[in-house]
Amino acid sequence: MSAKSLNPAGIGPIVSSAHLAEGAFPALSEFEFGLILASHAFHRWMLRCINAAGVSDMSPLDVLILHTVNHRGRAKRLADICLVLSIEETHLVSYGVKKLEGAGLVASGRLGKEKTVEITEKGREICTKYGEIRNALLVKPLSSTNVDKEQLSEIAAMMRALSGHYDQAARAAASL
């Protein structure tokens, strides 16, 4: 699907900050605006879905931590959770884990000197319920559209690659 087919009126790139789109790569500004909208919509979705699954007072990060801890049913080190979610501030993950522990969704343990986190049965049940709601309200309706699964996978790969460029640019900016 080309940008022209999404914007047949030819009114220019759809961006949030025209001054950033004036440079040599306006498509990057289009991507960033799409990313802003998608990330906010995704955060709203996660919160509404986890609420529907029976858990309130969670942040989007808490939901991501819960699903990461549940992934493959193995205990995770805090450092691994931070790495998978690309979070530099480990205190944010520690705080999220404490909230999830308080809700009975995860349990802490130790592997040598390192703190580990495991999903509890209640946490597993909530993740299963979340998955069921996701399938009913998001996957099923999306499957009936003309969204190309292969193209969606390619977009995901491109987003992961772009995240590396943003990380590198962030390191460079920190050294200025």
Asked if residues 63 and 134 have their Cβ atoms less than 8 Å apart, the reply is no
CA 172 to mean position of chain CA atoms: 24
pLDDT at 5 over 70: no
Q: What's the chain's average pLDDT? A: 93
CATH 1.10.10.10 fits 57-143, yes or no: yes
Q: What confidence score (pLDDT) does residue 43 get?
A: 98
Which among 156, 14, 117, 130 has a CA at the least distance from the CA of 63? 130
Q: What are phi and psi of 106, to 5 degrees?
A: -135, 165
In this prediction, residues 147-156 reach a mean pLDDT of: 95
- pLDDT score of 165 more than 70: yes
Beta-bridge mates of residue 107: 118
pTM of structure: 0.89
Give phi and psi for 159, each to the nearest 5: -65, -40
Q: Where are the domains of the chain?
A: 57-143
Q: What is the CA radius of gyration of the chain?
A: 19
Q: What is the pLDDT of residues 36-89, one digit of tens each?
A: 999 999 999 999 999 999 999 999 999 999 999 999 999 999 999 999 999 999
Q: Are 133 and 49 in contact (CB under 8 A)?
A: yes
Helix (H, G, I), strand (E, B) or coil at 142: helix
Q: Are strands 114-119 and 106-111 parallel, antiparallel or unpaired?
A: antiparallel
